[in-house]
């Protein structure tokens, strides 16, 4: 995760967390999304994430839930006033795009598949977000109707030539989706933190909830191809996950939804 040293966090902080930043070096660790992320280099480290009001509540709930399951960061503060602010303790370890992990792509691909299968076998009966698939399809429908269509970042074998083609596949196939596992929602290598090649935590779980496993499988495959610049390790990932649970036709339906963001 990239970090750029900055003078100060460019928002007004609530008084109860001002002391957390006082005297600390602060780094901008934001990626391309709308949210801003700052690393506070103090004690064992903290991450402060901020976004528009109402946008981080789901992530707060699911980060807390993942932490309760022993696979997520600890939330130290959440507040919503002019904007949402969430502070989490730094998870020990490095993400899976760290060079020490990508230098061993076979080992990394197998581990990625194994950890995803473990996630999908967790008891989700107490999950606070059970309507993942309804939200998932509704978002794709909304983006179709508002002409939000982007197929440029998908593998060729999942590509669709038009919004209409993708939308028809989604509408015809959405009945095949199940809600029978706890999904991450953005199962990409940067969101998996390892310490000594063992899972430390999953991060960025704002899209998590009870849903269809193929969403995570799809993004796992996409991330391997994108971050390793090759698809040669896909079979290792799929074998490690377990092909008995994978339906390629449902992966195509997931792809038809994902082109709508």
* Cα distances (Å, whole numbers) of residue 211 to 143, 165, 216, 251: 20, 24, 10, 14
Q: Which of 186, 204, 212, 216 is catalytic?
A: 186
- In order, the DSSP letters of 18-41 are HHHHTT-EEEE---SSSSEEEEEE
Whole-angstrom Cα distance, residue 88 to residue 44? 11
**Phi, psi for 47 (deg, rounded to 5):** -115, 130
103 is an active site residue: no
3-state class (DSSP) for residue 48: strand
Pairing mode, if any, of strands 46-52 and 75-80?
Answer: unpaired
**Phi, psi for 130 (deg, rounded to 5):** -100, -5
Give which of 12, 6, 9, 32 is closest to 83, Cα–Cα.
12
Residue 225: which residues within 8 A CB-CB, separation 6 or more?
A: 155, 231, 234
Whole-angstrom Cα distance, residue 261 to residue 144? 9
Q: Catalytic residues, which ones?
A: 186
């Amino acid at each position: 995760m990239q970090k750029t040293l900055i003078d100060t966090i460019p928002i007004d902080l609530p008084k109860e967390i001002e002391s957390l930043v006082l005297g600390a070096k602060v780094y901008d660790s934001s990626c391309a999304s709308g949210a801003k992320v700052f690393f506070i280099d103090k004690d064992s480290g903290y991450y402060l994430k901020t976004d528009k009001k109402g946008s981080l509540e789901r992530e707060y709930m699911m980060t807390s839930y993942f932490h309760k399951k022993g696979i997520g960061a600890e939330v130290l503060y959440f507040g919503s006033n002019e904007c949402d602010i969430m502070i989490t303790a730094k998870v020990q370890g490095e993400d899976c795009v760290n060079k020490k992990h990508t230098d061993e792509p076979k080992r990394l691909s197998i581990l990625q598949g194994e950890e995803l299968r473990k996630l999908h076998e967790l008891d989700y009966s107490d999950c606070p977000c059970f309507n993942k698939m309804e939200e998932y399809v509704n978002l794709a429908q909304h983006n179709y109707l508002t002409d939000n269509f982007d197929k440029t970042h998908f593998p060729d074998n999942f590509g669709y030539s038009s919004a209409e083609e993708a939308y028809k596949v989604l509408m015809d196939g959405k009945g095949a989706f199940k809600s029978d596992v706890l999904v991450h929602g953005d199962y990409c290598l940067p969101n998996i933190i390892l310490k000594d090649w063992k899972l430390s935590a999953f991060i960025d779980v704002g899209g998590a909830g009870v849903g269809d496993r193929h969403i995570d499988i799809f993004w796992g495959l996409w991330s391997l191809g994108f971050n390793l610049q090759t698809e040669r390790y896909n079979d290792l990932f799929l074998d490690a996950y377990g092909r008995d649970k994978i339906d390629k036709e449902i992966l195509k339906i997931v792809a038809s939804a994902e082109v709508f963001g």
